[in-house]
Structure 1
């Protein structure tokens, strides 16, 4: 059941101070993402293992910055790089705290896929900086490809995945991914944003399925009862990896195109 969920803006949705930033047309995928899609799934040895997750914060680049494939442990892994002229890491930290309380804000990010977003605790009062999202659950509905998913994004501190604490030149947005329909977790992500001479770049990493499937609040437990639920969410690993790569590239490039102006207008909130 989709209930009151719908794509885009309707009625008076745009009648907000930020409504002018809703842009239904999205740019084409960057060339480096198109090339990764043309290459198809990568061999597991060319991909980033979850045990090496924190290495995304190191200097330089990894063997696969844009690509997807299935790892030996049965999980699938996705990597995407987004170049963002004029953007700073601090803008992304602000965004992850600012957008989660209002579906109309969430839809700015991906107008063709995002449906709804709300904080599980429902309360933004008194929160500042990264504490507006770290330690909180974002309950979202969105399309990945043609599959509508109801997710629970559980943000954690960068240190939990071995990344350095956030600083002026680099920020790591880290989270556990799961279902909002059942107490099942299915993956992890890191969006590592670092400064570049002309702005910033985001290097996204996802690890989905396989050993990352667990009963929520029961680390290390992956009962037979939850695996069918996880399987329905995850789908075919190769197809889902491709769809996730496209989705991430679309939303990050889209928002980066107007994030400096959005931040200039609302960054003080």
Structure 2
């Protein structure tokens, strides 16, 4: 955060550049190295995250023969509710300073496009259909990304399984902002548990998930970029696990308070 960026912002007090250490269960998962691909959840079965039980693979990463990777993290979020998370994914995306609150060590820039401008709409409806253009570091790599939020039904979630008071699923296609290439999918499934909520995050990136965006034509330049995205290695997968865990745990630390202050001012 540069000097003066937070001047006049009511949420300035929530800026905290000191981030907590990685949770022990994440350290353990990274230490195990890549997990066997058959343990991984596929995008076609993403909606099974709404089942009450845990899955065999909740934390860590796996690498596939086609060059793709799968990442999973579990974040415990005391005092948080699913509706707070829906609010955050709408609220943070429209201003860079808000985005920087989320991961002070990695988030650089955000710009919002699309979605609804109806401020009376449910929070979830305010970001679905929109695209968040972000610059962020994942490990030492700078990503210039286009995160296109889609309806949870695209990944098989039913409306009945996503009562906003009990659960939500933030689903998106991840692409590049500078060229019309998509290279993966994500879901953050959030459900109430005793004392708050928990977030079960899943990413499917690279390999077979690399695709031209609708309406784009393949060029030599795009093919070169696509080939680089198709082969994601161990280092990138580990960095994704760390990045997701750190930003979601940091968010959980201040989300209940910033949400309640926002609600009081509505």
- TM-score for the superposition, normalised by structure 1: 0.90
1:184·1:216 contact (CA, 8 Å) conserved in 2?
yes
2:107·2:135 contact (CA, 8 Å) conserved in 1?
yes
Q: Are 1:229 and 2:225 an aligned pair?
A: yes
Displacement, 1:130? 1.2
Displacement, 1:88? 0.4
Q: Are 1:80 and 2:80 an aligned pair?
A: no
Q: Which residue of 2 aligns with 1:147?
A: 141
Q: What are the equivalent positions in structure 2 for 1:202-213 lying under 5 Å apart?
A: 202-213=199-210
Runs of 4+ in 1 over 6 A off after TM superposition: 221-224
Aligned with 1:239 (options 204, 217, 235): 235
Structure 2, unaligned runs of 5 or more: none
Displacement, 1:228? 2.3
Displacement, 1:223? 7.8
Q: What are the equivalent positions in structure 2 for 1:183-198 lying under 5 Å apart?
A: 183-198=180-195
1:93·1:173 contact (CA, 8 Å) conserved in 2?
yes
2:40·2:62 contact (CA, 8 Å) conserved in 1?
yes
Higher-helix-fraction structure: 2
Q: Which sits farther off after the overlay, 246-255 or 71-80?
A: 71-80
* CA distance in structure 2 between the aligned counterparts of 1:69 and 1:217, rounded to whole angstroms: 28
RMSD: 2.2
* CA distance in structure 2 between the aligned counterparts of 1:14 and 1:62, rounded to whole angstroms: 45
Q: Which residue of 1 aligns with 2:260?
A: 264
* CA distance in structure 2 between the aligned counterparts of 1:232 and 1:106, rounded to whole angstroms: 27
* CA distance in structure 2 between the aligned counterparts of 1:48 and 1:73, rounded to whole angstroms: 16
- TM-score for the superposition, normalised by structure 2: 0.91
Q: Which residue of 2 aligns with 1:134?
A: 128
Residues 5-35 of structure 1, C-alpha deviation per residue, up to 9 Å, x if partnerless? Answer: xxx2422424310011000000001110010
Structure 1, unaligned runs of 5 or more: 1-7
* CA distance in structure 2 between the aligned counterparts of 1:14 and 1:234, rounded to whole angstroms: 42
* CA distance in structure 2 between the aligned counterparts of 1:233 and 1:18, rounded to whole angstroms: 37
* CA distance in structure 2 between the aligned counterparts of 1:21 and 1:68, rounded to whole angstroms: 31
* CA distance in structure 2 between the aligned counterparts of 1:30 and 1:222, rounded to whole angstroms: 42
Residues 233-264 of structure 1, C-alpha deviation per residue, up to 9 Å, x if partnerless? Answer: 57632211110000000000001011100100
Residues 91 and 228 from structure 1, CA distance in 2 versus in 1: closer, same or farther, beyond 3 angstroms? Answer: same
Q: Are 1:61 and 2:57 an aligned pair?
A: no
Q: Which sits farther off after the overlay, 226-235 or 44-53?
A: 226-235
Residues 47-96 of structure 1, C-alpha deviation per residue, up to 9 Å, x if partnerless? Answer: 22222222222221111100101134431000000001111011000000
Q: Which sits farther off after the overlay, 208-217 or 122-131?
A: 122-131
Aligned with 1:108 (options 95, 101, 109): 101
* CA distance in structure 1 between the aligned counterparts of 2:144 and 2:170, rounded to whole angstroms: 20
* CA distance in structure 1 between the aligned counterparts of 2:220 and 2:50, rounded to whole angstroms: 35
Q: Which sits farther off after the overlay, 14-23 or 42-51?
A: 42-51
* CA distance in structure 1 between the aligned counterparts of 2:41 and 2:95, rounded to whole angstroms: 33
Q: Which residue of 2 aligns with 1:42?
A: 35
Residues 222 and 177 from structure 1, CA distance in 2 versus in 1: closer, same or farther, beyond 3 angstroms? Answer: farther
* CA distance in structure 1 between the aligned counterparts of 2:124 and 2:180, rounded to whole angstroms: 25
* CA distance in structure 2 between the aligned counterparts of 1:217 and 1:68, rounded to whole angstroms: 29
2:82·2:192 contact (CA, 8 Å) conserved in 1?
yes
